[in-house]
Chains A and B, each alone.
Chain A
Amino acid sequence: MKQALQIISLIALCLTIFPALLFFAGQMELDAVKWLMLAATAVWFIATPLWMGREEQSQQAAE
C-alpha cells in the first residue's frame, strides 16, 4: 500500500514539472500546463500525507 502511494506521489511530482517542460519545448499550451499542475498538486497533497512521516509516528507510538 505504502509503495503504491509513493508511486502516486512520484507521478504527481512528474506531472508538476513535465507539462512546463513540454511548454518550454513548444508542445503544450500554458493554460493546459496550469490545469495539469493544479491536478498534480491535488494528487500530491492527498497521497503524500498518507505515507510521508507515518513511519516516525508509528515508531513514536511504539515507544
Chain B
Amino acid sequence: MSEDQTQSTSGEFERQPVPKGSLLGFKSFIGMYAGEHCAGTELMIGPLFVAAGVSAFDLIFGLLLGNLLAVLSWMFICAPIATHSRLTLYYHLEKICGRKLVTLYNLANGVMFCFLAGSMITVSATAVGVCVNFPMPGLTDIMPNSIGWVLAVLGVGVLISIVAACGYNTVSKFANIASPWMVLVFLVFGVVALRQFMLATDTPVNSLESLWHLASTEIWKGGDPLPGQVKFTFWHVTFFAWFCNMAMHIGMSDLSVFRFAKKSWYAVATAAGMYVGHFMAWIAASLLYSYQLRVDPTDTDVLPGPMAFRAAGYAGLLCVVIAGWTTANPTIYRAGLAFQAIVPRMPRFSVTLATGLLATLAGMFPGIAMKLLGFVAIYGMILMPMGAVIFVDFYLLRRFGMQSNYAELSRKSFNWAAGLTWFVTLGTCVTLVKFTALQALLADSLGIQLLPGFSGVQIYFVSLPGWFVAAGLYIILSKIYQNKVHK
C-alpha cells in the first residue's frame, strides 16, 4: 500500500473517526493496492504453485475466481464497516475487546508480520547468491544450509532493519517510485519465459488456442506435486487467492485503510492489487520456475534471484532486491508498531530495529519461504476470528438484544466473550487441520474412533468454516457474558 499514507495518517485520528475533510478519493486506493501487492513474496508464490503440480485451468480460473472473492470480501465485509465507523482496526477492536485483549492481538499480529518480513528478506537474499557463490537453500530445506546463506540473509536483513528503523519515509517514497517499474519487470519475466517455452518446445503461439495448448501441455501440466509439496487443485488455488490476504479483508486489518474512503465501493480498487500482483505477477513468476524445470527437471530450487537474473539480467536481479526490500520495510515497521503497543515506553527506533533483527533471524530459515503457501494460510487463520467478532458486533449483536462495543461500555479491559471466541475458534481450526493425527492418537491410546471416514480439513480451506464458528461462538458467548456482567 502507499506507505506514505499509512505513515502520515497513522499518527492522526488514531482514537477518533476520520473527519470529512481528510477523506481520500478513489484514485489513491488504486495506486495503494497495485503497489502493495506486487511484492517480493509473489516471486515465491508463483513457483510454489508449479511445485504443487497445478494445471493450467486450475491456475488461471482458480486465480480469477479467488481474486474476485477477495475483492468482494473487501467491498462487502471490510469497507462498509470502515466507512461507517471510520476508526482504525486497533481502536475499533479496543472498543469491542478491551485494551488487554487488543495487546494480545497485537502480539500475534506482530509475530506474524515478523515471519512474513523474514520471507521477504529470504527473497532478497537469493539475489546475493547470483553475485557471490555459496550454497543456496533447496525447496525442501527448513534449516539454513550454509554459512554463506546465513551471512547473506544477515547482511540484507540488518541493512533493511536499520533503514526501517531510521528511514521509513525515504523507503516508502522509494517504494512508490519503484512500483510502476517493478510491475513492468514482473510482466517482462512472464513474456520472456513464455518466449523461451515457445523456443524450447518449438511451438509457435499465434492464437489463444495455441497459447492454451502450450500452457496446458508444457507450462502448467498438472500431475503429481514435487516431493514434500501438497497437490493444488482448482479449489486450492481459489481459496489461496481468496484467503492469502484474509487478515486484511475478512480479518478487518484494512479498516485502518478504508476509514479514509469516501464511499465503501472504493474497495473495488483492491482489484488493481489482486489482478496485477496476485494474477499477473504470480503467473509470470510461475512461468520462470516452470521454464527452469523444463531446462533441468532436477533443479527444483525456488530461488527468485537466479530465476529473475536468467530472464531479465541485472534489471531482474534489482527487481528481486527492491521487491523484497520495499515490502519487508513496511512489514517490519508495522510489526514494530504492533510490538510498541505492548511496550509503549521503548523508543520506536529500538523496537523497530529489534523487530527487524527478529525478522532477519526468521529469514535465515528457508523453511518459512519454501512453505509460504501454508504459512500465509496460517496467518489468515490466526487473525480471522477477530474479523468475525467485529462483523458480528457491527451487524448482529444489537439485533439479538445485546450491546456492541461492549468493552468500552462496561469498561472491561478483557472481553472474555471475544477472547474465548478467538481461542476456541483457533482450537477448532487446528483440530480440523490435524484431525487425522488426532484420530490416530485417540485410536491408539483409547481405542476411540472419531468420525470414521472424515480426514479433516486442509489448512487452505479451514478458515471458511472457522469464520462461521467464530461468528456463532461470539453471539452465544456474548449472550452469556453480557448477562453475567449485568447481574
- Interface positions of A (Cβ within 8 A of B): 12-13, 16-17, 20-21, 23-24, 26, 30-31, 33-35, 37-38, 40-41, 44-45, 48-49, 52-53, 56
Dominant SS among interface residues on chain A: helix
Contact at B173–A53, with CB atoms within 8 Å?
A: yes
Question: Does residue B180 face the partner (Cβ distance < 8 Å to A)?
Answer: yes
Across the interface, name the chain B residue whose C-beta is closest to A21.
B191
Question: Does residue B442 face the partner (Cβ distance < 8 Å to A)?
Answer: no
Question: Does residue B195 face the partner (Cβ distance < 8 Å to A)?
Answer: yes
Question: Does residue B187 face the partner (Cβ distance < 8 Å to A)?
Answer: yes
Q: Which residues of B contact A44 (CB under 8 A)?
A: 181
Contact at A49–B188, with CB atoms within 8 Å?
A: no
Of the candidates A13, A24, A40, A56, the one whose C-beta lies within 8 Å of that of B191 is A24
Per-residue interface assignment for chain B, residues 311 to 329, with 1 indicating a CB less than 8 Å from any chain A CB and 0 otherwise: 0111110100000000000
Of the candidates B173, B176, B177, B314, the one whose C-beta lies within 8 Å of that of A34 is B314
Of the candidates B173, B177, B180, B312, the one whose C-beta lies within 8 Å of that of A37 is B312
- Interface positions of B (Cβ within 8 A of A): 4, 173-174, 176-178, 180-181, 184-185, 187-188, 191-192, 194-195, 312-316, 318
Smallest CB–CB gap between B188 and chain A, Å? 4
State A16–B177 Cα separation when bound (angstroms).
15
Given A16-B185, A17-B187, A52-B177, A40:B315 Cβ within 8 A: yes
Contact at B184–A16, with CB atoms within 8 Å?
A: yes
Contact at B313–A23, with CB atoms within 8 Å?
A: no
Across the interface, name the chain B residue whose C-beta is closest to A14.
B184
Contact at B315–A20, with CB atoms within 8 Å?
A: no
State A21–B24 Cα separation when bound (angstroms).
37
State A44–B180 Cα separation when bound (angstroms).
10
Given A23-B192, A37-B185, A44-B181, A16:B176 Cβ within 8 A: no
What 7 A-B pairs come out closest when comparing CB atoms? Answer: A34-B313, A37-B315, A20-B188, A20-B191, A24-B195, A41-B315, A16-B184
